[in-house]
Chains A and B, each alone.
Chain A
Amino acid sequence: NAGVTQTPKFQVLKTGQSMTLQCAQDMNHEYMSWYRQDPGMGLRLIHYSVGAGITDQGEVPNGYNVSRSTTEDFPLRLLSAAPSQTSVYFCASSYRTDSNEQFFGPGTRLTVL
């Protein structure tokens, strides 16, 4: 199993550009989520999905879109990047209960100039 994979590892954007952060998992997990990590703030939930075709907003959803067309993939889209979106982004997956461990990807470091 590859676990949770994320691409790219690093990305630099200019303000206003769009891009998609990719996330995939091969563990047949129903639940997938996106977090952003900023210094001194821990990780904050952006969007999450409890299964294919079902997504919902987390704590900081503004400026981000998601979709879940398959169980394996959960891409995060930035439609018009802003400097405030400079962060490290982590994707996670788990079985659909609170009591199961969430597995995290290696992260994508995004800089918006």
Chain B
Amino acid sequence: AQSVTQPDIHITVSEGASLELRCNYSYGATPYLFWYVQSPGQGLQLLLKYFSGDTLVQGIKGFEAEFKRSQSSFNLRKPSVHWSDAAEYFCVFAGGTSYGKLTFGQGTILTVHP
């Protein structure tokens, strides 16, 4: 069965520090992977997506993610975090014949200290 796991429920970083949010997936073929962000009380915004090709994907707001097939991972990174990055981040999976049905990770809440 396909699944996606975010091992960290809550991460706290200082403003200006680097950030890495972990994501692991379970799937027998090449997945479609996304990272979405949800600010408090808001809807979901797509940060970036991976379908094929370059394993390092650039997104909006200075985020990037690297697809590593050997580790079944798709970690999200940002070199310098801003206070406005405080939000909940979801790693999301779609694959095979799921026709766009998304499987969400549990989410990682990011707190940014000044």
Q: Which A residues contact B (CB, under 8 angstroms)? A: 31, 33, 35, 40-45, 48, 50, 58, 90, 92, 94-102, 104-107
Contact = CB atoms under 8 A, between A and B. Distances in A.
* Residue picked from A41, A94, A102, A107, most chain B C-beta under 10 Å: A102
Interface SS of chain B: helix, strand, loop or mixed?
A: loop
B43 A101 contact: no
Contact of A101 (B46, B90, B101, B104): B46
Given A42-B90, A107-B43, A102 B102 contact: yes
B106 A42 contact: yes
Interface residues of B, number: 24
A98 B95 contact: yes
B44 interface: yes
Contacts of B44: 43, 90, 104
Contact of B9 (A40, A45, A90, A104): A40
B100 A100 contact: yes
Given A40-B9, A101-B49, A33 B43 contact: no
Contact of B99 (A31, A92, A105): A31
Interface in B64-114: 90, 94-96, 98-107
B109 to A, nearest CB: 10
A91 B96 CA distance: 22
Given A43-B90, A90-B44, A104-B43, A98 B106 contact: no
Given A44-B104, A106-B43, A98 B9 contact: no
